[in-house]
Structure 1
Amino acid sequence: MTSSISAWIWSERFWLPENVSWADLAHPPPGVEYPRMGQILYALPLAVGVFLLRLLFERLVAKPCAHILQIQAGVPRRAQPNAVLEKLYQSKTCPDTRQLEGLSKQLDWDVRKIQRWFRVRRNQDRPSTQKKFCENLEKLQTYPLLIHSCICSLQSPWMWDTRQCWHKYPFQPLSPGQYNHYLAELAFYWSLMFSQFTDIKRKDFVVMLIHHLATIILITFSYANNMLRAGTLVMCVHDASDIFLEAAKLANYAKYQRLCDGLFVVFSISFFLTRLVIFPFCVLFESWEIVGPYQAWWLFNGLLLVLQTLHIIWFYLITRIAIKAIFKGKVSLVIFCLTFTSVTAKFTFFVKHLNNYWMDSDSV
């Protein structure tokens, strides 16, 4: 029964293009290696190590840094102990008018006094600025490893001529850099799954839990069916802008407003270039043209299309924040335009230079 379930889960008709079998990938040509599912399992113990390293980093590095920057933990005002209000608070932090009136009669308290109690109780549960600073610094210290993996991947010609992501798919050799990149990314997202239950519990807890789980599934199964080139490109596209967002948050908590504004401008521009320009054209459109759709293609690209929809929504929110900041005088419009022009020009020159480099290499 177990073998039949495994055969159903790993159906060749679903995961692979026509006329390709798992046996084809299990027996690569001499000197060539294809991904094997067992290789990616090493990400689990590595994720545990990353999680423990984050806990150690918070104690030995993040908190001392917060003290040096004079980011205090702060002790919030505590609400008056009340068993009835506490019981309701555990199920509903903002009671409606009917509930407030019922509590007013039951406790013989004024409605305003009850509203004040719930406000103080909500503030009591809010994390301190120091706690948020430490969490963001923990995440930021993991990004150099991911950025290093991205830089190693940038040396591959298919990162710049993205049509090569699909040439001869799925018979594409596995390189050590691709394996290390996948292992690092999967360990990182598994560690985020673990840390969600120890970090500050935010309003988007369930959404982020689903996001991390979906990301883990995408990374695991894209490794299994050798969609590594496109997968590495997608991961690089996402990591490129995230590091600036985390850095901007840290600057905001430390009250370095100008640094925060500058980092947010860079984040906005990099988000636009990577997630609204590179991502859809290189991943969604070219795969249709070269490989053509098959069952797993619809699954992966359907999930990536949902992700692209989120990118558009997030960029809309980012634009709103940027416009509000400009009109409030927090960010100079001239600085924003100059930064946008400079970063875009450098990005275009960099891509053009590398494209010429790979074309010259191919001609040789």
Structure 2
Amino acid sequence: MDALLSEEMWLPANISWARLYASRPDGRLTPQPVHLTMSLACGLAFCLLRYLVETFLLFPLGRRWGLADAPKDAVRPVTPNKRLDAVFRLNRRPTVDQMSALAGELGWSDKSVANWFRRKRNQLKSSTLRKFVESAWFFLHYSCILVYGFAVLVGKDYFWDARYCWIGWPDQAMDADIYWYYMISLGYYWSAMYYIFTDVKHKDFAEMLIHHVVTVCLMSFSWCLNYVRIGALVVLIHDVVDPFMHLTKCLTYASSNTRLRDMMFVVFMVCWIVTRLTIYPFWVVYSAMFHSWAIIGPFRSWYMFNGCLLVLQVLHVIWFYFILRIALSVVTQDPNTKDSRSDSEMSAAEDGQDDKGDSQLKKRL
């Protein structure tokens, strides 16, 4: 434990923990690890706030707009079956041969087993109302935090010149507005790590989980080492695209105005390219790797910090692949090109695979 918390592990040779966490004579804040407890409190507050907003605002609004409160192809619940339930937990779409084997084991027809799995999958689909409410919550949050972030950071010298993220480190104080921006943002990601297991399941679940874990680690890491300035820029840049993405989803679920939806998607795509594929790697990551090297020099935790930044960039590229697929479907009007990011795991694409499986089954009957 001593080695894990040693100054040699985390700090340059000429810097000590005492200097990093020393109180300032002017009374301004210096980041302290104990401050992170406030982010946990903010996370709990976000859980409560989300419950209240969804229950008393978004669900009633969605119902008033006539959004379906049940999946479009919902069916009556399947008859419980321990054997099929056990298989379903491992594989929601067994092959035709596997279903035939199960039919022989249970004394059912092949078609009955296939119908059981189809209906079981349909039970787990999320309703249009549920998807709208989730996206509307994200839109409200990211819109508010984006406005707050710009209001806080636009007057900082490091907002315009990233070298000031490192000049004067570690003797950098911060104002109360940055403290609260950081705690609120980190608190949101604590709540997101809980909700990712209860929200509509997406095909990029693993990528989203990695993103949330890396973000929490990166923000906590940067707070404890007083990398708050560069950390705040990372958070702000990531927040720019999210309101447009979730507004596009809300329009998809609640509006028949496809022109407006497509226009918002184009805005979202342009923002993604500008912020996450241009500004983030060529300004923020560049500064974290090269400006910091020149001003404070590399040390062990420097490599870990930059490694986390690069992991986020890899995720940006992966998600951009999904975005390009959606853009391709819009341009070509190809109904077979699905939004592999926004559709739930029980999506129409999966239904298409079911239809293919049913065709194979019919040939064998």
Normalised by the length of structure 2, the TM-score is: 0.83
Q: Which amino acid letter does the alignment assign opposite residue 104 of structure 2?
A: K
How far, CA to CA, are the matches of 2:216 and 2:145 in structure 1? Answer: 15
Cα 1:329–1:320 shift into 2, 3 Å: closer
* Aligned match of 2:90: 91
Give CA deviations for 1:188-223 in whole Å, capped at 9, x if unaligned: 011112323433344544543333222111111100
Structure 2 residue identity aligned to 1:159: F
What is the aligned partner in structure 1 of residue 127 from structure 2? 128
Cα distance change on mapping 1:80 and 1:27 into 2, 3 Å: closer
Query: After the TM superposition, which residues 290-309 of structure 1 pair with which residues of structure 2 at under 5 Å, given as runs?
Result: 290-292=291-293, 293-309=298-314
Aligned counterpart, 1:258? 259
The corresponding residue for 2:290 is 289
Gaps of 5+ in 2: 336-365
What residue in structure 2 maps to residue 108 of structure 1?
A: 107
- 2:4: which partner in 1? 9
Please tell me the residue identity of whatever aligns with 2:131. K
Residue 333 of structure 2 corresponds to which residue in structure 1?
328
Q: Distance in 2 between matches of 1:233 and 1:50?
A: 22
Contact 1:163 1:282 (8 Å CA) reproduced? no
Whole-Å separation in 1 of the counterparts to 2:107 and 2:142: 54
Q: Is the 8 A contact 1:78 1:121 kept in 2?
A: no
Query: Cα distance 1:266–1:148, how it changes in 2: closer, same or farther (>3 A)?
Result: same
Q: 1:169 to 1:126 in 2, by over 3 A?
A: same
Matched with 2:280 is 279
Query: Which of 66, 76, 79 is 1:78 aligned to?
Result: 76
Question: How far apart are residue 278 of structure 1 and its match?
Answer: 0.8
Offset, 1:243: 1.2
Match for residue 239 of structure 2? 239
Whether contact under 8 Å (1:73, 1:128) holds in the other structure is yes
| 1:79–1:117 Cα contact (<8 Å) kept | no
Q: Deviations over 1:96-155 (max 9, x none)?
A: 233212112123333233223211211111111111111122222222441133112122
Decide whether the 8 Å contact of 2:218 with 2:305 is kept in 1. Answer: yes
User: Do the aligned residues in 1 keep the contact of 2:70 with 2:126 (CA within 8 Å)?
Assistant: no
**1:152-163 matches, cutoff 5 A:** 152-163=152-163
**In structure 1, how many angstroms separate the alpha carbons of the residues matched to 2:215 and 2:200?**
21
After alignment, is 141-150 or 17-26 more displaced? 141-150
Q: Which residue of 2 aligns with 1:54?
A: 50
CA distance in 1 between partners of 2:201 and 2:277 (Å): 30
Of residues 35, 59, 68, the one that matches 2:64 is 68
Q: Distance in 2 between matches of 1:243 and 1:106?
A: 51
Determine the C-alpha separation between the residues in 1 that align with 2:260 and 2:300.
47
> How far is the alpha carbon of 1:35 from its aligned partner?
0.9
Contact 2:207 2:315 in 1 (8 A): no
Paired residues in the alignment total: 325
How far 1:269 moved relative to its partner?
A: 0.5
Q: Which residue of 2 aligns with 1:35?
A: 31
Paired residue for 1:224? 224
Partners of 1:248 and 1:264 within 8 A in 2: yes
Alpha-carbon distance between aligned partners in 1 of 2:288 and 2:52, rounded to the nearest angstrom: 43
In the TM superposition, what is the alpha-carbon distance from 1:85 to its structure 2 partner? 2.3
Whole-Å Cα distance in 2 between the matches of residues 82 and 287 of structure 1? Answer: 55
Using the TM superposition, give the Cα deviation of residue 282 of structure 1 relative to its aligned residue in structure 2, in angstroms. Answer: 1.8
Residue 27 of structure 1 aligns to a residue whose secondary structure is coil
Deviation at 1:46, TM superposition (A): 1.9
Shift of 1:22: 1.1
Higher deviation after alignment, 235-244 or 7-16: 7-16
Find the counterpart in structure 1 of residue 182 from structure 2. Answer: 182
Q: Percent identity?
A: 35
Alpha-carbon displacement from aligned partner over 1:137-179 (angstroms, at most 9, x marks no partner):
2222222441133112122121111222221222222122211
- Whether the 8 Å CA contact 2:24–2:30 is kept in 1: the answer is no
Higher helix proportion = 1
For residues 149 and 86 of structure 2, the distance between their equivalents in structure 1, rounded to whole angstroms, comes to 49
Residue 43 of structure 1 contacts residue 184 of structure 1 at CA under 8 Å; is this kept in 2?
yes
Do the aligned residues in 1 keep the contact of 2:238 with 2:275 (CA within 8 Å)? yes
Kindly indicate whether structure 1 or structure 2 has the higher relative contact order, using CA contacts under 8 Å at least 6 residues apart.
Answer: 2
Aligned-CA RMSD value: 2.1
Deviates more, 1:315-324 or 1:269-278: 315-324
